Amino acid sequence: MYLFSPNIAYADLDSFLGKINAQIVNPLITLLFALAIGFFLWGVVEFIINQSSEEKKTSGKNHMIWGIVGIAIMLGVWGILNVILSTLGITDIRIENQNNEGRIDVDLRDYNPSPVNR
């Protein structure tokens, strides 16, 4: 009887990096991408509304340019990250065992060590 033997949850670096990518990095990239698009659209609206003022049109142009730069940076980060993850063979990890209460059920395999002969 192995009363004090714990069940061991095995994890590896690939699943850890896949979960970090799926749960933290991808939502962060999506948020920053949305902010860059919003900044670009703000510049477009500012440029269109303020046709009489050259100074405000220039401000709108600058917002559009920096919005495009932000979009390009986020696309670059997303592309580089996907190249790295596909090179390492890491795929997105999805949470599939989520129950109705918001908790995640973890299935551990049985821990059956070989008996030690004394």
Q: How far is CA 74 from CA 21, 37, 106, in A?
A: 15, 11, 34
Which range scores top for mean pLDDT: 24-28, 95-99, 112-116?
Answer: 24-28
Over the stretch 58-78, which tens digit does the pLDDT of each residue have? 999 999 999 999 999 999 999
Residue 100 pLDDT greater than 60, yes or no: no
Residue pLDDT, tens place only, 8-45:
555 666 677 777 878 888 899 999 999 999 999 999 99
Dihedral in degrees, nearest 10, Cα atoms 44, 50, 55, 58? 20
Q: Which residues of 30-58 are buried (b: 16+ CB within 10 A; e: fewer)?
A: eebbeebeebbeebeebbeeeeeeeeebe
DSSP-derived secondary structure letter, 98: B
Q: Both tokens of residue 81?
A: 């990250």
The structure tokens listed for 86 are: 């596909």
Averaged pLDDT for residues 72-89: 88
Q: Rounded to two decimals, what is the model's pTM? A: 0.62
